[in-house]
């Protein structure tokens, strides 16, 4: 089940060439998309497998979701995702690794630049400190005029804020 924020917000910096996508990868993936016209939409999408799914179905659904986002908003000009170095559990690490592999392969096939952003980096940009709590991140995103449904969406909006504030951060 996907959640979509219904109140697009403009961001001031410009980035030529299409939509910008920021992701907080996980079973519930937070996403924020800045369209070429600078309007921002965000939400969450669940890649939780059903009891009848094979092990790779969540990754196929993620691939299909990326393709649909690219088709509807695209083309996607660049992707940023939260670069996690430590996970609370083995299952979370496996899911993150699978989603990251799927994302990077999808982007490589299409020539879309992508970059992982360390947690402390985007938190420092938004909150002024790299160890900001989930609540502090959500409050900072709300202060910018957004209404995230949860921390996954707030994190994606914060990553997008960092990406726009640093002119994309893509080396190329």
pLDDT in tens, the chain (172 residues): 455 444 444 444 445 578 999 999 999 999 999 998 889 999 999 999 998 988 889 999 999 999 999 999 979 999 999 998 766 668 888 899 999 999 999 999 999 999 999 998 999 999 999 999 999 999 999 999 999 999 999 999 999 999 999 864 443 3
Task: Please tell me the pTM assigned to this model.
Answer: 0.86
State how far the Cα of 161 lies from the Cα of 157, in Å rounded to an integer: 6
State how far the Cα of 42 lies from the Cα of 109, in Å rounded to an integer: 25
State how far the Cα of 137 lies from the Cα of 121, in Å rounded to an integer: 13
Q: Would you state the structure tokens that stand for residue 150, as one six-digit string?
A: 């949860």
Q: Residue 152: name the closest of 41, 7, 42 by CA.
A: 42
pLDDT at 2: 55
List CB contacts of 115: < 8 A, sequence separation 6 or more: 78, 79, 80, 81, 169, 170
- If one counts every other C-beta atom within 10 angstroms of the C-beta of residue 63, the result is 16
Q: Would you state the structure tokens that stand for residue 140, as one six-digit string?
A: 């900072």
Show me where the domains of the chain are located: 3-165
Would you tell me which CATH number, out of the four given (3.40.718.10, 2.40.30.10, 3.30.420.10, 2.40.170.20), belongs to the domain 3-165?
Answer: 3.30.420.10
State how far the Cα of 41 lies from the Cα of 21, in Å rounded to an integer: 10
């Amino acid at each position: 089940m996907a959640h979509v924020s219904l109140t697009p917000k403009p961001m001031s910096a410009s980035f030529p060439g299409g939509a910008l996508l920021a992701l907080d990868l996980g079973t519930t993936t937070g996403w924020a998309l800045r369209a070429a016209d600078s309007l921002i939409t965000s939400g969450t999408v669940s890649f939780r497998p059903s009891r009848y799914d094979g092990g790779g179905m969540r990754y196929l659904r993620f691939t299909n979701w990326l393709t649909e986002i690219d088709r509807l908003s695209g083309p996607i000009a660049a992707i940023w995702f939260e670069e996690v170095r430590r996970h609370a559990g083995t299952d979370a690490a496996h899911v993150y690794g699978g989603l990251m592999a799927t994302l990077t392969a999808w982007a490589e096939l299409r020539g879309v630049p992508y970059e992982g952003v360390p947690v402390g980096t985007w938190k420092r940009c938004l909150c002024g400190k790299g160890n900001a709590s989930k609540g502090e991140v959500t409050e900072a995103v709300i202060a910018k005029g957004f209404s995230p449904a949860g921390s996954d969406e707030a994190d994606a909006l914060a990553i997008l804020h960092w990406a726009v504030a640093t002119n994309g951060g893509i080396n190329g």
